[in-house]
């Protein structure tokens, strides 16, 4: 993480591209909190890269005066991994939505967790596909009623399976999934609570290794969940111990309570640290003397 002595203002961090999100979209709150975090941590924008996939959240990099890459659907993590490995001095934020992170790109999560690359994944979870006009996503509740859900006998049926009208689809639990994958920093925040969101984002950036922040970021146009989350959002209990993985998992499973805060945190060497160590202390296995017999075998 590179910091700067120059004091930046929010106006310096805003790009010339104005956000085109719908009025009231939760993503505005996330953008403001990211600006605030950059300023509070005195991050140098010339050493900051924001990588995104597809979806309303995918527009994020365009609005920030920093390096950015708007990639393809679900592939933000591999792009961010390459960015970080090419230049480990960069602070790399990954901006995505529930579609990107928990559906089409979900297969990248366990591997980013295993590698523990120093990336901060900010997942703006609105439980809907907003950009494509409101289809249920992996985190939609099974009784979600939106214009694209199946109608049967005149009534909408939630995330009903197309082949079996009696079956609805259970939402994934992103926090439990992340803890299960052993992501080293797992937190949840709410876009309508900027102070807490800002604190969590800063802690996630400062965490050396892969971090995932699920930000509840309601979609005012297709699935407005502000009232629901205002009602159920509450901080994790004061006695919560984020180093206790089992406890974190138990709290993640309490889905009727909208716990906010850092569920799980575990410090371990990041991938870049391990690569740097390997390069600075070459082992015998990589020494020319060890490779020479192998090369000779192929020459014969
Ligand atoms: Fe936000 Fe929904 Fe509009 Fe997309 S469609 S910009 S998620 S309010």
Instruction: Give yes or no for residue 221 CB within 6 A of ligand 1.
Output: yes
Q: Which residues of the chain have pLDDT under 70?
A: 145-167, 282-290, 300
The partner residues of 129 in beta bridges, in order of sequence, read 135
- The pLDDT score that the predictor gives to residue 292 is 74
- The pLDDT score that the predictor gives to residue 24 is 97
Dist CA 101 CA 223 (whole Å): 18
Ligand 1 atom closest to 26 (CA): 1
- The pLDDT score that the predictor gives to residue 134 is 84
Q: Evaluate the CA torsion angle 39, 44, 46, 52 in order and state its sign.
A: negative
Tokens of 231: 């009602």
Q: What's the distance, CA 142 to chain centroid? A: 23
DSSP calls for 44-61: -GGGEEEEE-SSGGGGGG
Instruction: Give yes or no for residue 21 CB within 6 A of ligand 1.
Output: yes
Domains in the chain: ranges and CATH: 10-140+172-299 (3.40.50.970)
- The pLDDT score that the predictor gives to residue 162 is 46
Condensed to tens digits (0 to 9), the pLDDT of residues 128-186 reads: 999 988 888 999 988 776 666 666 666 665 665 544 444 578 899 999 999 999 999 99
Which whole-number Å values give the CA distances from 152 to 142, 147, 156, 161, 162, in the listed order?
Answer: 15, 13, 6, 12, 11
Q: Residue with the nearest Cα to atom 5 of ligand 1?
A: 130
Residue bearing tokens 């297709």: 222
- The pLDDT score that the predictor gives to residue 258 is 95
Instruction: Give yes or no for residue 126 CB within 6 A of ligand 1.
Output: yes
- The pLDDT score that the predictor gives to residue 164 is 47
- The pLDDT score that the predictor gives to residue 150 is 63
The whole-model pTM stands at 0.90
């Amino acid at each position: 993480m590179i910091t700067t002595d120059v004091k930046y203002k929010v106006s310096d961090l805003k790009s010339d591209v104005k956000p085109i999100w719908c009025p009231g979209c939760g993503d505005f709150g996330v953008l403001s909190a990211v600006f605030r975090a950059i300023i509070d941590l005195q991050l140098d924008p010339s050493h900051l890269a924001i990588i995104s996939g597809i979806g309303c959240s995918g527009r994020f990099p365009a609005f920030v005066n920093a390096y950015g890459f708007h990639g393809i659907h679900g592939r933000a993590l591999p792009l961010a991994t390459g960015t970080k490995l090419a230049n480990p001095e960069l602070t790399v934020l990954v901006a995505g939505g529930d579609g990107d992170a928990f559906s089409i790109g979900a297969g990248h999560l366990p591997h980013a967790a295993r590698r523990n690359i120093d990336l901060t994944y900010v997942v703006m979870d609105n439980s809907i596909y907003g950009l494509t006009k409101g289809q249920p996503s992996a985190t939609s509740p099974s009784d979600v009623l939106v214009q694209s859900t199946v109608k049967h006998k005149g009534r909408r049926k939630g995330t009903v399976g197309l082949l079996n009208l009696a079956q609805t689809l259970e939402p994934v639990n992103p926090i439990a999934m992340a803890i299960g994958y052993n992501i080293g920093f797992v937190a949840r925040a709410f876009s309508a609570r900027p102070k807490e969101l800002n604190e969590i984002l800063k802690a996630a950036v400062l965490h050396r290794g892969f971090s995932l922040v699920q930000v509840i970021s309601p979609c005012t146009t297709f699935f407005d969940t502000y009232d629901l989350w205002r009602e159920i959002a509450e901080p994790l209990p004061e006695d919560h111990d984020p180093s206790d993985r089992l406890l974190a998992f138990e709290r993640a499973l309490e889905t009727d309570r909208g716990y906010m805060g850092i569920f799980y945190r575990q410090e371990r060497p990041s991938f870049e640290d391990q690569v740097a160590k390997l390069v600075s202390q070459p082992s015998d296995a990589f020494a020319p003397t060890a490779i020479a017999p192998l090369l000779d075998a192929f020459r014969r």
